[in-house]
Amino acid sequence: MNISCNREQLLAAFSIAASVAPTRTPKAVLQNVKLEAATDSALLMATDLEIGVRLEVPGIEVKSPGSVLLPVSRFGMILRESSDKQLRISTDARGTTIRGDRSVFTLPSTNADEFPNTPSLQEERYHELPARAFRELVRRTLFATDTESTRYALGGILLEFDSEKITAVGTDGRRLAKMEAAARIVGDHRSQEGTTIVPSRSMQLIERALDGQEGNVQVASRANDILVRTDRATIRSPLVEGRFPRWRDVFPERGQAVRIELSAGPLHQALRQAAIVASEESRGIEFTFDGGNLVLAGLTAEIGQSRVEMPVAYAGPPLTISLDNRYVSDFLRVLDPEKTVTLEVEGPDAAALFTTEDGYAYVVMPMARDN
């Protein structure tokens, strides 16, 4: 094999693939990323025997096709530390040689045929939607999952496939994020009889692989796994076993709720200021709406107290609810600062509901506050 490549483009793809390779495994071959160069394309492949990824690498000129296994640690360091715009990679009996303008590295070779096969999406049934929309599904729900819970279902994102949309839901039991996106159904693809819960780690990989892509993505849910494919990437992930909470029950009819419109950017800025005095033991920030103002107040005995005001369009009676600043901040962080958020509050002991007009909903349980 003999190729010439753009170092930065190869580094971006290699970093995604390398995140799948296990750091500890009895099968040492898995601690490599396989580079397969054909006449007109080049692919990177990695797997831990559960999650698998195939990535097409742009900016590669193939002078002689072939395949090679690249050790994650050493080859990754070469890509990161090199300052060359172009690198030349070749293999022969002595090993793999990586050449820059003023540097050369030789790494031992491992038989590329020993590397397991990675997935390719050949399903006839799937949902299709813009890659940017699917990435938003992941980004707006991933932070709400609980990877440390003994309830394994909470350590993933639930995907539901309907005739015209995909719904993603993430929860850790104290908050819940739901996002919807329009999608085209191909071949009568529906949710399986069980629940489609994709591990958080897999969703992190998918989000990274979709970054910057403008085409469409195809999502195929099967009995035990899920396949995600774009023009440049294919990712396979197993599903999480377990029962997902009845998330629709979290959205009851709220006839008495007060609806208040807020701007995401100014609210996030005010919340960060109020949270300066918060601590691990005292994370609650009081949201008080009164007289056209929102007052955010924090109090921690050993640190101090805060009071931050911002104008809001609210003319009703005084209304106070205490919320965990981290949970609200996580929600605001994934929104554009210009986004308008509607907050529904029914009382100090009822869950707060944040919604946006593009199908995003976020529920946060209130915190008890000492008088």
User: What's residue 124's pLDDT?
Assistant: 84
Residue 86 or residue 148, greater confidence: 86
User: What's residue 371's pLDDT?
Assistant: 46
- Residue 72 C-alpha from the chain's centroid: 22
Rounded to 5 degrees, φ, ψ at 77 are -65, -40
41 with 66, same domain: the answer is yes
The residue whose two tokens read 């796994």 is 225
**Nearest to 222, CA basis, from 210, 238, 208:** 238
101 with 85, same domain: the answer is yes
220 with 204, same domain: the answer is yes
- The answer to the question of residue 192 being in a domain is yes
The answer to whether the beta carbons of residues 123 and 220 sit under 8 Å apart is: yes
Write down which residue in 227, 248, 269 finishes a domain: 248
99 with 149, same domain: the answer is no
CATH of the domain at 15: 3.10.150.10
Both tokens assigned to 97: 């040689």
Q: pLDDT-based confidence at 191, cuts 50/70/90?
A: low
Segment among 18-22, 199-203, 255-259 with least mean pLDDT: 255-259
282 with 213, same domain: the answer is no
Instruction: For strands 66-71 and 126-130, give the pairing.
Output: unpaired
Above pLDDT 90, what percent of the chain?
73
pTM of the model: 0.89
Q: pLDDT-based confidence at 148, cuts 50/70/90?
A: confident
- The answer to the question of residue 371 being in a domain is no
- The answer to the question of residue 306 being in a domain is yes
169 with 180, same domain: the answer is yes
234 with 256, same domain: the answer is no
Average pLDDT in the 325-354 region? 95
Q: Give the residue numbers spanning the domain of 270.
A: 251-364
Write down which residue in 83, 114, 145 finishes a domain: 114
The answer to whether the beta carbons of residues 57 and 42 sit under 8 Å apart is: yes
User: What's residue 282's pLDDT?
Assistant: 77
- The answer to the question of residue 119 being in a domain is no
256 with 301, same domain: the answer is yes
- Size of the chain in residues: 371
pLDDT digits (tens, 9 = 90+) for 212-260: 778 999 999 988 899 999 988 999 999 998 889 999 998 877 778 899 9
- The answer to the question of residue 84 being in a domain is yes
Write down which residue in 205, 220, 248 finishes a domain: 248
Mean pLDDT of the chain: 91
- The answer to the question of residue 155 being in a domain is yes
Return the exposure string of 128-162: e unless at least 16 CB atoms fall within 10 Å of the residue's CB, then b: bbbbbbbbbbbbbbbbbbbeeeeeebbbbbbbbbe
The number of domains in the chain is 3
The answer to whether the beta carbons of residues 174 and 366 sit under 8 Å apart is: no
